[in-house]
């Protein structure tokens, strides 16, 4: 599958995916057994979406032979019985949906289930079963200048993957601090060499 986007996020921290895993685990088991696809809207959309059972079922795709005109498209059936075509980096809704939509696939990952089996996760640029209110999403993304230390921390670490990044950075800095606890009086060259050594740990 061809993905043209350079978009990336930690899907395991996406609110839509987290809701599927916590509230609809039995559906994840079905997709694992069938080696299907879970479609997850990107985090900026997922953050403003309440996930219902219908949403969950509409975003889980199982392989299907029904409705295939040629070999170029892969045809999938949602758990709710609707048809979706996957062609390169796009999903196209077909029969069963109230709206016709073409949604970009931003990237794909493979997840492994608790039982033997795996499923793919497509991070997509929208919802399969309804229109996204772009104005609502855009207004939530407006740049705000932080006015306090707490707001700076929130800006740095509250995004998808932020907590893992913070833990990783804390680990590196703690290692550096423990290794080089007395840098005062050291030459700039020795400090630079110490930092370079740290990056290769």
**0.75 exceeded by pTM:** no
63 CB neighbour count, 10 Å cutoff: 12
Looking at the predicted structure, is the pLDDT value of residue 5 above 80? Answer: no
pLDDT higher at 150 or 59: 59
The residue count of the chain comes to 201
CA gap 106, 187 in Å, rounded: 48
Could you report the per-residue pLDDT of 19-72, keeping only the tens digit for each?
999 999 999 989 998 889 999 999 888 888 889 999 999 999 999 876 555 554
Please give the pLDDT value at position 1.
Answer: 53
DSSP letter, residue 73: S
Specify the DSSP class assigned to residue 71.
S
pLDDT classification of 174: cutoffs 50, 70, 90: confident
- Which band of pLDDT confidence, cut at 50, 70 and 90, is reported for residue 154? confident
* Sign (positive or negative) of CA dihedral 56, 62, 64, 69: positive
């Amino acid at each position: 599958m061809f993905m043209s986007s350079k978009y990336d996020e930690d899907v395991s921290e996406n609110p839509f995916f987290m809701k599927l895993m916590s509230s609809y685990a039995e559906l994840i088991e079905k997709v694992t057994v069938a080696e299907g696809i879970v479609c997850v809207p990107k985090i900026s959309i997922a953050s403003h979406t309440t996930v219902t059972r219908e949403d969950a079922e509409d975003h889980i795709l199982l392989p299907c032979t029904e409705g295939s005109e040629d070999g170029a498209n892969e045809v999938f059936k949602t758990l709710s019985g609707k048809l979706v075509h996957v062609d390169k980096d796009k999903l196209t809704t077909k029969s069963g949906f109230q709206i016709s939509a073409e949604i970009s696939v931003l990237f794909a990952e493979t997840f492994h289930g608790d039982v033997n089996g795996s499923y793919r996760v497509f991070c997509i640029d929208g919802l399969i079963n309804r229109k996204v209110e772009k104005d609502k999403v855009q207004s939530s993304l407006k740049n705000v200048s932080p006015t306090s230390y707490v707001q700076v921390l929130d800006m740095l670490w509250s995004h998808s993957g932020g907590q893992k990044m913070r833990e990783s950075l804390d680990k590196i800095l703690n290692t550096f601090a423990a290794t080089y606890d007395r840098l005062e009086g050291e030459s700039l060259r020795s400090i630079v060499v110490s930092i370079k050594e740290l990056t290769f740990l």
